[in-house]
Amino acid sequence: MNTTDTKTAAILLAPGFEEIEALTPFDLLRRAGIDTTLVSVENKTGCTGTMGLEVTGLTPMKDYDFTKADALIIPGGPGYEVLEQNQEVTDLIQSFGRDKTLGAICAGSSIPGKLGLYKDRDYTVVPDLNGDFGGTFEKVHAVISGNIVTGISVGGAFEFALDLIRVLKSPEAADDIARATCWTL
């Protein structure tokens, strides 16, 4: 775990990631002073999202030290299947879900559910992928349940990111970002 006062987060990207669900948390967490890194699970420095946006400057997964990260964030989009089928990724999701902060949104939220991390917890996930995850599904933009933050879909990306800030820093820090971005007027 990170031993400095600066919190750190890794956002995992695979081809077909949902741009808004990855880049909204990236932007807002950085605005809150959280050192946030976009990490390529394909160990490349670029990745193309579901809407065709190519994001460059990524850190290859093999070069990122997850032991120093405070949070792991899983976006949705068709790329979630690449994440779900990668044993190293599912091991990281289980580890962060137990011991650190885990954020997952839309289709990405189904992965921790399938791994049993929502047992006896509230959560949200894109409704089409909701299954018997052992917890309570909430049809809302975002849910904080202890150390796990979930978002429903693209429409919940802003609230999801603010909830990550609430967990990683403070409710006041999230409120400051909400005001600074005119989310709240």
pLDDT tens-digit profile of 129-139?
999 999 999 99
> Residue 5: what pLDDT?
80
* Domain-embedded: residue 185: no
CATH number at residue 159: 3.40.50.880
* Domain-embedded: residue 1: no
- Segments in the chain below pLDDT 50: none
Number of compact structural domains in the chain = 1
Alpha helices in 1-155 (DSSP H): 19-31, 80-84, 87-99, 110-114
* Domain-embedded: residue 32: yes
Element of type H or E holding 48: strand 46-48
* Domain-embedded: residue 12: yes
Q: Decide: 40 and 58 in contact? Cβ < 8 Å.
A: yes
Report DSSP state, residue 49. -
* Domain-embedded: residue 28: yes
The residue segments making up the domain with residue 63 are 8-180
* Domain-embedded: residue 71: yes
pTM equals 0.96
* Domain-embedded: residue 3: no
